[in-house]
Amino acid sequence: MTVRELEIAREIRRLVREELGLEWGGADGEELAGRLDSLALLSLVVAVEDRWRFKITDEDAATTRSLADLARLVARKAAGAAAEAPP
């Protein structure tokens, strides 16, 4: 993972802890579905969308299995949004 992705992963862990009231004790490559139930996963998606101000599509979700995948997705979408922002 890049430095930016590591920063995002750290922020996602904070969201899990503060928004969901859970601790992330797993590795970045561990599957989210193995650590969180479906309601917690949905809550995490909403928290990430609210934090970074973009929607996670069904296609995004289909390819996002781990915390590392989610961090890469957020980094990619955030970089795309910054590139599209007017000067």
Give start and end residues of each alpha helix (H) in 1-87.
3-20, 32-35, 38-52, 58-62, 67-84
What tens-digit pLDDT sequence spans the chain (87 residues)?
899 999 999 999 999 999 889 887 778 898 988 888 899 999 999 999 999 999 999 999 999 999 999 999 999 998 886 656 555
Residue-number span of the structural domain to which 41 is assigned: 3-84
Q: Which of 3, 2, 68, 85 is nearest to 32 (CA)?
A: 68
| Cα three-residue angle 8-9-11, rounded to 5 degrees | 65
What CA–CA distance (Å, rounded) separates 84 from 87?
9
Q: Does pTM surpass 0.85?
A: yes
Which of 36, 26, 14 has the alpha carbon at shortest distance from 68?
26
Domain count, the chain: 1
For residue 33, the model assigns a pLDDT of: 87
Q: What is the CATH number of the domain that holds 14?
A: 1.10.1200.10
